[in-house]
Every structure is written in structure tokens, then in C-alpha cells.
Structure 1
Amino acid sequence: MEFVMKEVGFYTNLEYGDLHVAGDEAYGFRPYQLLVSSIAVCSGGVLRKILEKKRLHIEDIKIRADVARNEKEGNRVEAIHLHFMIKGSDLDERQVAKSLEIARKNCPMVQSVEGCIRITETFELIP
């Protein structure tokens, strides 16, 4: 990836399109938003694949990400809590909990920040 400076922030060209990144939301995505998004979406994608392999019927997954930042240390991201709202039929809570554990171990983004950012996960089943 190559990033090019613009008046405020940077951009890069990717297959899907241009990605604009800046500290000011008026000019692009903020870096912490991309960090949190990559962790949440990676976790959700891995979880979805695991649930599908277990032949569990999933209609929808929504993920709420709550972020704790430390203003005294450069506003660093210290913790991310992911809450998965999983809609489906005949879902077994124990199977979903086990699948979430497996997803955590197999999500490259979560594993990349392991030990640096505290990641916690919860879920609820929506019939």
C-alpha cells in the first residue's frame, strides 16, 4: 500500500476505491475508526464463517463496538468491547459462545493487537 499526502491527511488507491484517512473526520476516516472497524468486521466475518460451517441458520449479525481511549497517553486505544447481536432461528447459546471463542483465536486483527488492546466480546441471540 502506498499513501499519498493531501492538504489534510492521506489517501491510497485500493481495488474497491480510494481510502481517505485524516485526523479530521471532514477529510476522511480517522485512524482509530479504521482500527476498530478492522477488528470488529474481522471478528464478525470469522464468526459468520464458523456459524455457517456448523450449519446454524444466521439471518443477520450486527456488531456494536465500544472503545476506551486513554487521553493521557496520546489518546491510545486501550480496550474494545464487541457486542454481537445475532439474528437466526434455533440458535444454541452454548454453540454460539464456543464459536465466538474460536473466532477470537482465528481473527488475524484480534491476534495482531493481542496483549496491546484489551478485546472483550459478548453476544445476544435475536429470534
Structure 2
Amino acid sequence: MIFNMKEVGFYSDVEYGKLNVAGDEKHGFRPYQLMVSSIAVCSGGTLRKILEKKRMHVEDITIKTEVERNENEANRIEKIFIHYLIKGNELAEHKIQQSIEIAHKNCPMAQSVKGSIEIIETFEIVN
């Protein structure tokens, strides 16, 4: 990827389109938002594949995130809380919990920050 400077922040032309990144939300995505998005969506996508392989019919997954940052350490991300709202029929809680654990071990983004950012994953089944 190539990032080019603009008046506020940087941009990159990627296959999907233009990616604007800046410290100010008025001018692009903030870097921490991209980090959290990468981890949450990678984890959610991996979870979805695992649930499909287990033949669990999932109609929808919503991912809610919260971030804990440390102002004393350059405002670094310390923890990411990921909460899955999973909609479907005849979903077994223990199978979903097992699937989340497997997904965490197989998500490249979560594994990339292992040991530096704590990721806490929870879920609930919604109908």
C-alpha cells in the first residue's frame, strides 16, 4: 500500500476505493478505528465460517465493540471488547463459545496483536 499526504492526514487508493486516514474524524478514519475494525471484522468473519462449517444456521451477526486506551502510554489500545449478537434458529451456546475460541486462534488480525492488546469476546443469542 502507498499512502500519500493530504492537507490533513493521508490517503491510499486501494482496490475498493480511496481510503482516507487522519487523526481528525472530519477528514478520514482514525487509525485506532481501523485497528479495532480490522480485529472485530476479521474475528467475526472467521467466526461466521466456523459456525457455517458446524452447520449452525446464522441469520445475522452484529458486532459491538468498546475500546480501552491508555492516555499515559501514547493513548495506546490496551483492550478491545467484542460482543457478538448472533441471530439464528436452534443455536447451541456451548458450540458458539467453542467457535469463538477457535475463531480467535485463527484470526490473523487478533493473532497479530497477541501479547500487546487484550481481546475479550462475549456473545448473546438474539431471536
TM-score (norm 1): 0.99
CA distance in 2, matches of 1:94, 1:70: 34
1:8 partner SS: coil
CA deviation after TM superposition for structure 1 residue 41, in Å: 0.3
1:11 partner SS: strand
CA distance in 1, matches of 2:39, 2:78: 13
Please give the per-residue CA displacement for 1:34-69, whole angstroms capped at 9, x wherever unaligned.
000000000000000000111101000001111000
1:99 maps to which residue? 99
Greater than 6 Å deviation, 4+ residue runs: none
2:125 maps to which residue? 125
CA distance in 2, matches of 1:3, 1:76: 22
Query: How do 1:3-22 residues align onto structure 2 when only pairs under 5 Å count?
Result: 3-22=3-22
The alignment's C-alpha RMSD in Å is: 0.5
Query: How do 1:3-82 residues align onto structure 2 when only pairs under 5 Å count?
Result: 3-82=3-82
TM-score (norm 2): 0.99
2:125 partner SS: strand
User: Where do 5+ consecutive residues of structure 1 fail to align?
Assistant: none
Q: How many residues align?
A: 127
CA distance in 2, matches of 1:76, 1:97: 28
2:61 partner SS: strand
1:121 partner SS: strand
CA distance in 2, matches of 1:101, 1:74: 30
1:34 partner SS: helix
2:111 partner SS: helix
CA distance in 1, matches of 2:106, 2:7: 38
CA distance in 2, matches of 1:38, 1:110: 9
